């Protein structure tokens, strides 16, 4: 296996049963490659959040095994795993508790035992990247929802984990906040981070993700690049997803033999194709 194909997380036939007896994962096998952006999608209650909680050892498999950088998560502490995998949960309020924005970001660093001068630098750096530095001394609860979400990302980014997991980063976010989150994801990618997104946002995924894993009822039902997974109507139905709008348009045109494929995911590509066809058609009439 080449270096670029290194599996940073290996998921091997994992089962998980909650104490109340709910079988949330039922034989999940997959992986996360170093440096990739992968999305985990699927219906409400499919087991997505349960799965990512295994990545830093918050949950341990009932059966099967998860390895993070070759460490078996059952035999490794959450603290050690969290240095490698940082998780930003869907509701930022569940993970914010410090009195100031600065302390919020500094908290995990202090926990990991970084010296104070390093902590100060790291906090400043992370807050600057997420455009929150001006709120340093404010209470996290004074911030807007979008800002709190970014603060939760900053507090994970500051301790520099190799893998960053974002649970529903765009849910309930307005357009401008979504744009900001896209920028952040691009930046993290540039920094060489491995990114796992748990998301329902089909349109968002088509723009940024290399690989999609679709889950349903505790199992993985499909896996592959967006143009393959999101054009498979069977998978889309079973995953409670909707096909991307452009796929729906191109499928209809493909059905009338007006396009030679239906996996268009970018407005640029599809509009270029349609415009050239329209020019052709118009040229056709004038020559008649």
Partner 1 sequence: MRERLVYLRDVSYRYPDSKTQTLQNINFDGYRDEIVLLIGPSGCGKSTLARIFNGLIPNFYGGQLQGEIDIAGYDPRKTPTAKFAKTVGFVFQNPENQLFFNTVERELAFGLENLGVPPAEIRKKIDEALREYGIEELRQRSPFELSSGQQQKVALASVMIMQPQILILDEPTANLDPLSALKMIGLIAKKTREHRMLTILIEHRLEIALQFATRVVVMNEGQIIADGPPLETVLKTDYIVGAPPMVQLSKKLQSSGFPVNIDKLVPEAMALEIIRKLSKGGLDERKRREDNRDR
* Residue span binding partner 1 (CB under 8 A) among the ranges 10-18, 64-72, 144-152, 185-193: 144-152
CB 157 within 8 A of CB 164: yes
Distances (CA, A) of 26 to 11, 30, 272: 12, 13, 44
* Residue span binding partner 1 (CB under 8 A) among the ranges 23-31, 54-62, 105-113, 140-148: 140-148
**With binding defined as CB under 8 A, does residue 248 bind partner 1?**
yes
Residue whose entry in the numeric block shows the structure tokens 């393959």: 228
* Residue span binding partner 1 (CB under 8 A) among the ranges 3-11, 134-142, 157-165, 275-283: 275-283
- CA quadruple 41, 187, 80, 54: dihedral, nearest 10: 0
- CA quadruple 114, 95, 181, 56: dihedral, nearest 10: 70
CB of 90 or CB of 100, closer to partner 1: 90
Show the tokens assigned to 170: 């765009």
Q: How many residues bind partner 1 (CB under 8 A)?
A: 45
CB of 160 or CB of 232, closer to partner 1: 232
User: CA–CA separation, 87 vs 157, rounded Å?
Assistant: 10
When binding is defined by CB under 8 A, the residue of 144, 155, 182, 219 that contacts partner 1 is 144
**Run of H or E residues at 252:** helix 245-255
**With binding defined as CB under 8 A, does residue 98 bind partner 1?**
no
When binding is defined by CB under 8 A, the residue of 12, 36, 131, 203 that contacts partner 1 is 203
The footprint of partner 1 (CB under 8 A) covers 42-45, 144-146, 171-179, 200, 202-203, 237, 239-242, 244-246, 248-253, 256, 258, 267, 270-271, 274-275, 277-278, 281, 284-285
């Amino acid at each position: 296996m080449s270096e670029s194909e290194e599996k940073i997380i290996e998921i091997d036939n994992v089962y998980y049963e909650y104490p109340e007896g709910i079988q949330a994962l039922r034989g999940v096998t997959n992986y996360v490659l170093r440096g990739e952006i992968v999305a985990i999608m699927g219906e409400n209650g499919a087991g997505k959040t349960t799965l990512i909680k295994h990545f830093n050892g918050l949950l341990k498999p009932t059966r099967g095994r998860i390895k993070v950088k070759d460490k078996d998560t059952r035999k490794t502490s959450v603290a050690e795993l969290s240095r490698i995998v940082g998780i930003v949960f869907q509701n930022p309020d569940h993970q914010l508790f410090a009195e100031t924005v600065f302390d919020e970001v500094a908290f995990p660093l202090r926990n990991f035992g970084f010296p104070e001068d390093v902590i100060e630098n790291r906090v400043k750096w992370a807050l600057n990247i997420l455009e929150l530095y001006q709120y340093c001394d404010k209470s996290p609860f004074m911030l807007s929802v979008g800002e709190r979400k970014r603060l939760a990302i900053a507090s994970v980014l500051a301790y520099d984990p190799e893998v960053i997991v974002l649970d529903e980063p765009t849910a309930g976010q307005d357009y401008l906040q979504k744009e900001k989150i896209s920028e952040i994801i691009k930046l993290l990618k540039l920094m060489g981070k491995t990114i796992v997104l748990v998301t329902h946002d089909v349109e968002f995924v088509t723009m940024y993700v290399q690989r999609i894993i679709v889950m349903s009822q505790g199992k993985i039902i499909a896996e592959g690049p967006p143009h393959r997974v999101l054009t498979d109507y069977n998978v889309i139905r079973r995953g409670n997803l909707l096909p991307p709008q452009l796929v729906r348009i191109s499928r209809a045109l493909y059905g009338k033999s007006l396009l030679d494929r239906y996996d268009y995911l970018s407005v640029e590509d599809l509009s270029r194709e349609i415009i050239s066809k329209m020019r052709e058609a118009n040229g056709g009439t004038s020559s008649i």
